Amino acid sequence: MNTYNPDNQRLFFDDLINCRELGGMPLTGGKVFKSGIALRSGSPSLASSKAHELLKQYGVKTVIDLRSAAEVKNYGNPFEKDEETKYVNIPLFVGDPDLKEDPTMVFLETHPMGDFYIMVLQELGKEIVEVMRVIAENNDGLILFHCAHGKDRTGIIAALLYLLAGATRENIVLNYKVSYEYAKSFLDPLIEARVENMRHTLRSDASNMEIFLDYIRDKYDMDASKYLIENGMLREEIERLKERIIN
């Protein structure tokens, strides 16, 4: 029987969008994804001004911002100038998602979000490896990685980490699809304001992660390490990352 419940990983319900501990995910061989290594969330500049301090009190000392340069410029990040925290911006979006004419946003008018996730894999492999290296090499406190709503770019990194560690496809999809539910109060007004053919970009339909995982199955035999090696990560770096995240 599957006993995984993503609700048990939730944190800071009212002060941070879709914030979760990665730890607690069951893995093959009776192992589990380690707690106290990484958190995922929406941007700490949204929802509540308390998010910054709450995360620091919780033990976050490294922040990986997956938003584009335009997003960081437009919305800021309270960790960017925090001298007590290591802040790195590794964009998994090229351009500005707030612009209707942005090529990626135009693409999404006729494509599911899962196709965007594949685009990120294909075009931003070096950036994904850079994110993985930061996680592998961190020895000081918790890491937080986030995008805007903690759903898409954050979901890609979480899925790859879980694949690498040995989580099941079923649980990776479950972990992904609850994002909309966890951010519903924030996202629903945005969905209502969007034109019909773009509302899907603010949901986390299970089919999006299925598309993503099908691609990794077909191209990499469901082995995330093959993808990371193809994009420049060394095998010893991958083993070090696995040691950090598998308990």
Q: Which helix (H) or strand (E) holds 143?
A: strand 142-146
Q: pTM of the predicted model, to two decimals?
A: 0.96
| Residue 47 clears pLDDT 80, i.e. is over it | no
244 phi, psi to nearest 5 deg:
-75, -30
For the chain, how many helices (H) and strands (E)? Answer: 10, 5
Mean pLDDT, range 90-110, rounded to an integer = 95
| Residue 1 clears pLDDT 70, i.e. is over it | no
- How far is it, in rounded angstroms, from Cα 158 to Cα 164? 10
Residue 45: per-residue pLDDT: 85
Helix/strand/coil (H, E, C) string of 204-220?
A: CCHHHHHHHHHHHHHHH
| Residue 241 clears pLDDT 70, i.e. is over it | yes
Confidence grade of residue 2 (pLDDT, cut at 50, 70, 90): low
Q: What is the pLDDT of residues 129-179, one digit of tens each?
A: 999 999 999 888 999 999 999 999 999 999 999 999 999 999 999 999 999
- How far is it, in rounded angstroms, from Cα 133 to Cα 156? 15
Of 90, 144, 147, 163, which residue is the catalytic one? 147
Q: Which helix (H) or strand (E) holds 192?
A: helix 169-193
Confidence grade of residue 14 (pLDDT, cut at 50, 70, 90): confident
Active site residue 147: yes
